[in-house]
A and B are shown apart, each in its own frame.
Chain A
């Protein structure tokens, strides 16, 4: 009996051995994450932390809504919250399209501040990294961390620029926030303080950062940070914030010195110009070449062009996906026509000789376009336009690319055209109506057809392999042409008309357009609208210039009908209304959401909300 009892004891001893002692059970670290100590004692890991802040930057390729769709550039086919703004219904309770929802415009309040906190965590830790290394290595590590600090400061300035241009003055934070802090102490800084904060960060970053040729492609450069400063100071010096009529110091200067502000803006642009960037050659004066090369420029796969100051590169399947083709391409190629260019934008394109479109066409009583030109006689309004029109917009019957599949659609459309026309074939009393492939009643993916009659072309890639649903072309955030236009505008505002004119024409001539005639302000604004179309610039411009009323008039589209009878073909172009828009003064700024104000009553809401 005792023997069996011993067996029992040994079984228990075995069971106890199977369990281990308590401390080793509970004292564990996560296996799928790095600890604080690991990250901030390793220059390599610290650098990876910075990648996340770069990753926070959103471009026009990230979502189905681009800033274009809250301007006259495009109409969002699926609305996605853009209508809340353009129809004038935005308020603090409904801040769409900046509400952070699935289709929200990039970098709203929350997303910008989230990244600012990340920068501040980085800045509070990065100086300590060198201490983890041996004395002999420290100097070398310090040199690297200084550059990274410069990148971090650039990124903080970038996110603050985003906020300042959306909301005006915002809480300024240089230290990371911690749980348990009294957040009541953080209030909105004035617009002036905010701009100064950004400008100071830019200056500090510029001294730490190297030029483009010395930095890995895609990382912040001296040029990028100076271009950012130029963009911010141009905005600050403009009418919206600096004409002395701002409602309060959160959304403008109360007693601005325009000369000082414009001079600062001019100098900021000049600082970039001194770095040796150059405009790309599009083959001017050959307008056909320009049309092709202007389009090709935005299909670049990397940032090496000397016109590109800074931007974001994409790979297929890895990292953020550039869905430009999918979001914005024509429906008959299986894409969604998300941001559809409006008739308003198309009408803005000059004729190829620099004259206004409406010098040659007029709108008839029923909205039909009528040619009244003595010079350009073709009734088709898409003929003889600024070459950049052909590089930017797909219009009815324009060539896009060959059909993906041989047979099928290729039988109907062997060329590969964007087809927005409705054909009425009339024989006797019978009429057979055929809707174009890209129309709303057409036979292919018609629910994804745009309402305006146009499709984006600039920034799309007609060489993207058919089986690939993401683009690999770059998003250009800063390019030299913008800086030159910034410079020209500052000069113009400072009364340096000739200097301004020189640079406006430089941009025009590069695109095969003759020197401007007439009003120089109008010419400058035309260049910014046309040259920088779809580049997330227009919405800020129409606000800085305080021309929201004009720019956000109802969105128009084009209806194209072709009548075939007895061998005759007659085509009509008729303007239609696509979206009622209702601009109002409050829309010059974006409201802080009610939810956020509820959490922090010290925040003052923007005017008129």
Chain B
């Protein structure tokens, strides 16, 4: 209590001081207003109020209740939900308002009918200040009128200004206005938030009435377009955007996943669900090059920052530049650009604290189904019998098969489901974010602290991901010329794991045989199929050591903007960013202990049958090597410097010009060391000094990159109707030779026409209230190749042991043949499209068509330079690829009024590329030439079913050695033999040609239901799983319906061994391809927002809870599949498998509060 009192008295003193100040200011500012409209009522009516932490809106309501005053204001302009304390006795409404809106830049006007209009100072001042000055002008006349909405209702507070001047007024409560207009005035402009601005010529009229119509939605929104931002209405590039609500609609640990399904033209695919590594791969408009197709990521203006380490809560907006609009990023723009902007404080808003959190439960969407012990043993026998293996060399006898099937011999014939014993059913995620934002007139700030936690899916998990994000964005207005800004973002990521990576764990999990022990009937660990070093249950824990990978990222940016005095609209701005990434990883590897071998020989010799307890025959496995430790330390720094001269001015209210020229450079350096020791006598000290001296090892690596860029852009529009944008960029990169190829020029040209502003449109097709045509062209670049390929250089490689004392000498090898002519890839990019809104913006329909021709593609000519030349080829500018496609967005928004509203938004994109010119071997048969096919098209044999019997084989062209149950390969060229020429280029690529999403948003009172359906089509992956057969278990998919001597009319081939059968290696057919087409319920979220009345009592501004589900279920997918159709996996050459950490279904419960 005491504490409160002290606070109160302090506040009172402050109040008194400010009150005095306010009175003076108000006296000066409003002397002119008062003379026009001050009524006696407002001077005489007095109030006594005692409001403790009340919302302004409630105070106003109270005044309305006690008097004839009515208040009018627009929610967008005035924060009436703000809490204030007010203690007044016997004061006028004037004093009360002054108290409430102290320092808020809000003023008011009292009309004759006791209507009080509240508005930002700027609006009212521009309307009245100049007007009063002009009152000295002699020759003037008056114009009056009424402003109504479409249905004839009067509109209060509409700005009525003489076009091209600051002379104007505001409509009263009846929508009426009177304005004294200066001589020479031609027209009046009527503006009102949320309405279309109207211009009506005056002529000789004295009565001008206006009818305002609702403006198109979102057009006033500001869109970040790269080195600047534009009103959405003026954007003429193809730019997909996401706002705060969309970004945080689905709880994701890696930002890239938040984009899935919501950005037309962006293909977002998650390749693994592993904690801390679950970032999605991003492709913009598919793939347009044979080389690297990664888009450029720009965060707060700095290219190359990491999208996935950022906390989604910190992000204000995301824009994806898909066409010529990206060209301002020059040599890095051809694959598209993703712009991320973090949150900023707002001028003149009190501090708002936000806290949000969610906790969630994750489970795999789909795990490969593996054969059980009986099936596996049976299949292995079948396979070995086809090979002609002698009974003695068969892995399982017929008796074994029966015993596995019976399940009655747990000690000799177990039936292990490795996924069940390795993985949990569920794992957890948790996220917390705390932020504060606000601002005064001279300072704006946003600060946030967030944590992310993801647990691993393994039982006894050694795996976890923790991330801590800290950010501070501060903008200071030093004076009227100078703004300074400072952004600091610190990120720490901790990835903990066992020594085996997820691909290893999942590979051995699916490859381990069901006939091996995971856990013996007495509960002890078995050694598994590949020894305890690869026992999935063991290696998923820290029993074999740990891999502790920490990353510290610090992104710093300072910026300054200087308005050049004397030249209106001219400013100089600059920023300098210094980003640091430090990595620190400790990899401690020791022989996993805790596994037991079963001495089956002795167990059986003792007269046991498999039923009796065998605990006495278990032998603990012991490590045969000493623990090893590798420490990794690395440090990377990126500096970016930018200097921009910017000129923005509106001429005569109709010519809007914005132009800049800029210089930018960036430099990147990285270095790292690693050190190794073995022979640790204990696990207790996992530090280098505790290891043995013998066998220690260490190394260092370094790398660098640098760019210099000059660029500029001119944007011009006439009345926001005719829009033009011209850009030019000149980039230099150290990747290419100074003599040729270092510098590249990247021009762009964009034009737009907002046809709906034209009278002919308004008069004839006014049901389309907004329509904009746009077209663009640009030449863009892609330079994503290793640097210095223009020079002959020598790297340090593996060497030899020489000398009688056996000394190791490393070697030098020429890294590649130099290509002095190497330079950028060039993309000529064309885009035409339209944006439209129909039926009072209820319906939104946008479409873009694009065509890109990529030439000078950077690839290695491996396909045409013969190998006997012994050349290690560099990248060369070779080849042409066309990429074209269509993106459509269609949305419907219901009326916002009332308890119920909803919106639906769909997007659909198709992108198909075609190789036009390519490094083809010279003698390919026509049906194998890649030219004319999409990138990644695969040469495949066509399968024609399964050989029934020997007779069929003899009557059919076949691969030599084919036996019944093998896949029939079609003799495509009909030469009677199966040769390489029978392969056909099949347009089956893993990149979906079609992607689509449908989001909906339903609100009823305080409830909201948001959902997203997402899907893809025209995408395939090769299913070739792991080594199946002798080396590992079969996928159930290949066990079902397989050919056996008893099932000769089978649809699936016989039991096989690893990759040894012809149709599993050289003669791959489309039989092995999984169709990746799917539609799924990607996200569904139910939100409840607590009523104001309820939460205001506990001093909250806003409170929400929500329940959300991600990757909930598949609506459609091919049945012939092993993995989740969205999951292309990573082809792992080491294990010959796609098995990896699966995608996750996530159920989360979350809340957001602000106060």
Contacts and interface: CB of A to CB of B under 8 A. Distances in A.
Interface in A396-417: 404-405, 407-409, 411-412
Interface string A204-241: 00000000000011110000000000000000000000
B70 interface: no
A4 B626 contact: no
A442 B392 CA distance: 11
Contacts of A181: 869
B708 A22 contact: yes
Interface stretch (B25-33, B152-160, B812-820): B812-820
Nearest to A1: B479
B574 interface: yes
Interface string B398-434: 0010000000000000000000000000000000000
Given A5-B482, A48-B809, A118-B813, A16 B605 contact: no
A437 B811 contact: no
A557 B393 contact: yes
Nearest to A46: B812
A576 B393 contact: yes
B604 A432 contact: yes
A114 B869 CA distance: 7
B577 to A, nearest CB: 10
B699 to A, nearest CB: 11
B704 A28 contact: yes
Interface in A100-148: 102, 109-110, 113-118, 120-121
Nearest to A92: B980
Central interface residue in B600, B738, B806, by most chain A CB within 10 Å: B806
B795 A577 contact: no
Kindly name the residue among B397, B787, B980 whose own CB sees the greatest number of chain A CB atoms within 10 A.
B980
A12 to B, nearest CB: 6
B800 A35 contact: no
A435 B400 CA distance: 13
Interface residues of A, number: 129
A30 B793 contact: yes
B132 to A, nearest CB: 27
B828 to A, nearest CB: 26
Given A315-B806, A405-B622, A408-B599, A422 B562 contact: no
Contacts of B864: 599
A120 B876 CA distance: 23
B804 interface: yes
A16 B817 contact: no
B651 interface: no
A296 B850 CA distance: 72
Interface in B1105-1125: none
Contact of B574 (A15, A49, A433, A580): A15
B793 A577 contact: no
A447 B811 contact: no
Given A25-B706, A319-B799, A12 B560 contact: yes
Contacts of B795: 32-33
B481 A8 contact: yes
A375 interface: no
B702 interface: yes
Contacts of B806: 301-302, 313, 315
B808 A177 contact: no
B960 interface: yes
A51 B980 contact: no
Q: Which of A468, A596, A598 has the most CB of B within 10 A?
A: A598
A441 interface: yes
Contacts of B529: 447
B802 to A, nearest CB: 4
A39 B390 CA distance: 59
A219 B804 CA distance: 11
Contacts of B733: 26
A28 B793 CA distance: 13
Pick from B397, B706, B738, B813 the residue with the most CB of A within 10 Å: B813
A499 interface: no
A55 B798 contact: yes
A600 B923 CA distance: 9
Contacts of B1001: none
A177 B701 CA distance: 30
A598 B793 contact: no
Contacts of A31: 702-704
Contacts of A407: 619
A4 B479 contact: yes
A102 B1136 CA distance: 11
Interface string A2-36: 00110111011001101110100111111111111
Interface stretch (A81-89, A276-284, A545-553): A81-89
B980 A93 contact: yes
A49 B811 contact: yes
B812 A319 contact: no
A379 interface: no
Interface string A46-59: 00111110110000
Contact of A27 (B396, B738, B791, B810): B738
Interface residues of B, number: 117
Contacts of A16: 574, 643
A315 B531 contact: no
A30 B670 CA distance: 12
Nearest to B399: A433
Interface string B768-797: 000000000000000000011001111101
Contact of B866 (A34, A319, A412, A596): A596
Interface string B285-302: 000000000000000000
A65 B921 CA distance: 31
B794 A412 contact: no
Contact of B641 (A11, A19, A32, A318): A19
Nearest to B978: A93
Interface in A264-289: none
A580 B388 contact: yes
Nearest to A57: B800
B193 interface: no
A417 to B, nearest CB: 13
A109 B867 contact: yes
Contacts of A454: none
B536 to A, nearest CB: 16
Nearest to B982: A93
B819 A4 contact: no
Nearest to A22: B708
A377 interface: no
A467 B876 CA distance: 47
Interface string A303-338: 010000000111111111000000000000010000
A440 interface: yes
B1047 interface: no
B77 interface: no
A11 B873 CA distance: 48
A327 to B, nearest CB: 15
B597 A408 contact: yes
A48 to B, nearest CB: 4
B926 interface: no
25 contacts: A5-B482, A11-B482, A12-B572, A15-B641, A25-B665, A28-B734, A29-B791, A30-B788, A30-B791, A32-B702, A33-B793, A48-B809, A51-B810, A52-B797, A52-B813, A55-B811, A89-B960, A91-B979, A186-B866, A313-B801, A435-B601, A443-B598, A557-B390, A580-B388, A599-B866
Given A18-B641, A89-B1062, A412-B599, 5 more contacts: A26-B734, A109-B867, A116-B870, A117-B871, A595-B921
Interface of A: 1, 4-5, 7-9, 11-12, 15-16, 18-20, 22, 25-36, 38-39, 45, 48-52, 54-55, 78-79, 83, 87-89, 91-94, 96, 102, 109-110, 113-118, 120-121, 170-171, 173, 177-179, 181, 183, 186, 216-219, 301-302, 304, 312-320, 334, 404-405, 407-409, 411-412, 422, 425, 432-435, 437, 439-447, 451, 466-469, 557, 559, 561, 574, 576-578, 580, 594-601, 603
Listed from nearest, the 5 A-B pairs whose CB atoms lie closest are A117-B870, A598-B921, A19-B641, A52-B811, A51-B811
